[in-house]
Amino acid sequence: MNVELRHLRALAAIGDEGTLTGAARALHLTQPALSRTLAQLEQRLGVRLVERSTRSLRLTAAGARLWENAHRILGQLDDALAEAAGRGTARPLRLVFAWAALGSHTVPLLRTWRERHPGIPVQIRRADDPAALLRRGQADLAFLRRSPEPDDPHLAHRALTRERRVAAVPVGHPLADRPEVALTDLSDETVALCATAATTSAELWPAGRRPCTVTVPGVDEWLTTIATGAAVGVTTEATVHQHPHPGVCYLPVRDADPVTVHLAWPARPGHPAADAFRRHVEEHLARQGSPPTLLDT
């Protein structure tokens, strides 16, 4: 099909930026030149990749799939060139998570890794959709609190540990002084749900006792909504360590099922140190005893 790397870079930038103007700026091209490159790619593939109008631009289904694959291909090429030049582990190991990495284990885990592997830094990043970054080759490992789709050919994963659920209530709330709460204690409250990587939905409550809910964009908005008394929330215990807030009290929920934490990575080989980091995570958790408990896969 005579597809060139410039075609893939063009589509990757268009999908990332969401506009031809932004993509052209990111690639240091003129917008007409970028439009011609996109038209060439669509012509050579014989499929529409981008739907354009005077007001909007969006990837088609085929365009979205190729956008993810383009990122992965370009990332693998960069890694291969670095390895050929003798810089195989020069790039940081990219670790992503949505809300919290590994809770109270995060800092000691990363400190011991740094002590044992001083030449392989770990770059951590919060992202709304960590699995998407793995599929696009923009991350090497991710902590997930929702299992990837079982038939996703691009991702591998294993369950690491289970985390208790906790309620988040504003300071001064009638429940704040309790040692723990039940789900039904929250049924008459408004519960804040996060639109990104949420582990809680109204279905967590028994039918007939489900609370009113309000959806917020992200973790900062979730915390602020609770701290101001507009709602309460339910999350995992890792949030307690990652997002302490002076206006929020966290209480164990005694009758809610725990959440399984997964470590996920691209199915195809990525960073050469990824296997060593996975072993490091498992060994660290195994040394801690229970909780957490290392799960079989």
pLDDT in tens, 172-197: 999 999 999 999 999 999 999 998 87
In a domain, 297, yes or no: no
Q: Are 100 and 197 contacting, i.e. CB atoms less than 8 angstroms apart?
A: no
Q: What is the pLDDT of residue 122?
A: 95
- The residues near 97 (Cβ < 8 Å, ≥ 6 apart) are 124, 125, 126, 127, 130, 142, 143, 144
With both helix axes pointing from N to C terminus, report the angle between 106-116 and 274-288 in degrees, rounded to the nearest 10: 130
CA distance 90 to 12: 24
Average pLDDT for 250-262: 95
266 shares a domain with 138: yes
In a domain, 24, yes or no: yes
Coil/strand/helix, residue 290: coil
267 shares a domain with 231: no
* pLDDT tens digits, 83-142: 677 655 557 899 999 988 999 999 999 999 999 999 899 999 999 889 888 888 889 999
Q: Is the pTM of this model over 0.85?
A: no
CA distance 167 to 99: 15
Instruction: Look over the chain and give the mean of its residue pLDDT values, rounded to a whole number.
Output: 88
Q: What is the pLDDT of residue 90?
A: 59
Q: Which domain holds residue 223?
A: 165-252
264 shares a domain with 153: yes
Where helices occur in the chain by DSSP H, the ranges are 5-17, 20-27, 31-45, 61-84, 106-116, 130-135, 219-227, 237-242, 274-288
In a domain, 53, yes or no: yes
* CATH for 242: 3.40.190.10
* CATH for 59: 1.10.10.10
203 shares a domain with 131: no
First to last CA, the chain: 41
- Identify the helix (H) or strand (E) that includes residue 216: strand 212-216
CA distance 31 to 40: 14
216 shares a domain with 74: no
271 shares a domain with 138: yes
Number of domains in the chain: 3
